[in-house]
């Protein structure tokens, strides 16, 4: 029973992260069209791929989402790049 709850919460968390990436993608596209400034929306592909690779790594090895160096590095790198893109977009939109 505990395994099912853990799996459901894990799936929910990754759906939320996926929704976040989609929202940031649409916000970046809207801002690029509205302002005429290039945002570099295509750079969101790299954090998305890194995060997806980290998730696939942990699913492939069937272990908890902690403690596997390769999976941890993929998730960390994807999260940091997503944070940096969002922070840059926020600065562009609010005027540095």
Domain boundaries, the chain: 2-94
Q: What's the pLDDT score for residue 65? A: 64
What is the rounded CA–CA span in Å between residue 95 and residue 11?
36
- Tallying the residues shown for the chain, one arrives at 96
Q: Is 36 left (phi over 0), alpha (psi -120 to 50) or beta?
A: left
Span 12-42, pLDDT tens digits: 888 998 999 999 999 999 999 999 999 999 9
Mean pLDDT of 33-55: 92
Among 46, 17, 28, which Cα is nearest to 86's? 28
pLDDT at 26: 95
**Mean pLDDT of the chain, nearest integer:** 89
pTM strictly above 0.95: no
């Amino acid at each position: 029973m505990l395994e099912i709850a853990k799996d459901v919460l894990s799936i929910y968390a990754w759906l939320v992260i996926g929704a976040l990436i989609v929202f940031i993608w649409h916000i970046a596209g809207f801002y690029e069209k509205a302002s005429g400034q290039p945002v570099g929306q295509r750079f969101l592909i790299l954090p998305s791929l890194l995060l997806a690779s980290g998730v696939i790594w942990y699913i492939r090895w069937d272990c908890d989402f902690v403690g596997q160096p390769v999976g941890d590095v993929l998730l960390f790198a994807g999260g940091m790049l997503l944070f940096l893109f969002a922070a840059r977009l926020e600065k562009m939109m609010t005027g540095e």
